[in-house]
Amino acid sequence: MKWLKDNKKLIVQFIKFGLVGVSNTVISLAVYYLLVYLGVHYIVANIFGFIISVLNAYYWNSKFVFKSDNSKKTILFRTYVAYLITFIISNGLLYIQVDKMGISKYIAPIICLLVTIPLNFIINKFWTYKEKK
């Protein structure tokens, strides 16, 4: 219980990040599934979902989750870098799952989230929105 009490702020922040992440995921997957349905290659569809959902992440993480002394331009740049890192990982995992393992292109993006969500939180918490001391 002491750990829980000592880390209450971090836990609340992770929960808020998770809520923002749900909206990012819905946006990203909606764009992805719509484009795949329209015949766009799954990697291209994933790119468009990424671009749109990162703008959503930047807005809500800046307003709702993290506090930072960094400029808005710095935060926007770092947000894209942070999400680009996990986007590259996600695309690699997506390719492996769909083309090498035969996992459905509709299920694979959801599996990728198990890796990208915690990694995104860590990068955003400790780099993008790093609070100056």
Residue pLDDT, tens place only, 36-50:
999 999 889 988 998
pLDDT, tens digit, for every residue of 70-104? Answer: 778 888 899 889 988 988 998 899 999 999 999 99
Tokens representing residue 118 in the block? 């915690």
- Predicted TM-score (pTM) of the model is 0.70
Nearest to 119 by CA among 73, 87, 75: 87
5 within a domain of the structure (yes/no): no
Query: CB 124: neighbour CB atoms within 10 A?
Result: 25
22 within a domain of the structure (yes/no): yes
Provide the residue range defining the domain that includes 90: 12-128
Distance (Å) of CA 21 to CA 55, 71, 110: 12, 22, 13
Q: How far apart are CA 132 and CA 21, in angstroms?
A: 24
104 within a domain of the structure (yes/no): yes
Give the distance, in angstroms, between the CA of residue 112 and the centroid of all CA atoms in the same chain. Answer: 10
4 within a domain of the structure (yes/no): no
16 within a domain of the structure (yes/no): yes
Tokens representing residue 120 in the block? 């995104």
1 within a domain of the structure (yes/no): no
- Count the domains in the chain: 1
87 within a domain of the structure (yes/no): yes
7 within a domain of the structure (yes/no): no
Cβ proximity of 109 and 47 under 8 Å? no
